């Protein structure tokens, strides 16, 4: 099932005036690209399921509904390159489902950077711990210790729905249960 697509106003205006704008893309939850040339206001004719893996196709961000950025349309220019699938929504900054662990940690850093209740000194320590968490070779004990310190220094910032959703994709269920995340 393809979701309703919201188009940024600048792209709707660019398409209406015959100027430059970004087209939309259809990408499955695992990151397989079906198309990068959906037009604003045009029909969305994409598969419900990915022909490569069977996962659901997405045409819009699951957080804000803005179209997934596809190719850039520039009048009179023919492009022979295929744009990379975006790891983040250019509307709200949320990570896409196919984002890597490192990219999801970037999303968490971005959200915590915006949290007014976190002291600047604590934010520096949090960023150091998140840098350690990017390493795939951390033991479960070290990972738990790092997340515990992130939790302690983040305070109420971890309670927001968006941060909680990001943590679900980063922290194992066992560690979340032990730390009450």
The whole-angstrom separation of Cα 15 and Cα 6 is 14
pLDDT of residue 3: 57
pLDDT of residue 1: 45
Averaged pLDDT in 10-residue chunks for the chain of 181 residues: 76 88 94 92 87 96 95 85 88 95 94 92 95 89 93 89 90 87 81
Domain ranges of the chain: 9-73, 101-179
pLDDT of residue 13: 87
pLDDT of residue 104: 94
159: exposed, middle or buried (C-beta count within 10 Å: 0-12, 13-18, 19+)?
exposed
Q: Are 8 and 24 a contacting pair, CB within 8 Å?
A: no
């Amino acid at each position: 099932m393809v979701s309703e697509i919201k188009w940024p106003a600048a792209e709707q205006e660019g398409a209406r005036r015959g100027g430059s704008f970004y087209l939309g893309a259809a990408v499955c939850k695992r990151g397989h690209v079906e198309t990068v040339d959906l037009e604003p206001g045009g029909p969305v004719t994409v598969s419900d399921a990915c022909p490569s893996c069977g996962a659901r196709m997405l045409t819009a961000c699951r957080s804000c509904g803005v179209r997934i950025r596809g190719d850039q349309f520039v009048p009179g220019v023919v492009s022979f390159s295929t744009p990379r699938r975006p790891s983040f929504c250019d509307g709200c900054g949320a990570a896409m489902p196919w984002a890597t662990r490192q990219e999801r940690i970037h999303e968490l850093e971005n959200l915590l950077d915006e949290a007014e209740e976190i002291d600047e000194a604590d934010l520096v320590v949090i960023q150091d711990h998140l840098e350690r968490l990017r390493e795939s070779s951390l033991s479960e004990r070290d990972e738990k210790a790092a997340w515990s310190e992130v939790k302690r220094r983040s305070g109420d910032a971890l309670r927001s729905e968006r941060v909680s959703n990001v943590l679900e994709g980063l922290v194992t269920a066992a560690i979340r249960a032990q730390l009450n995340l």
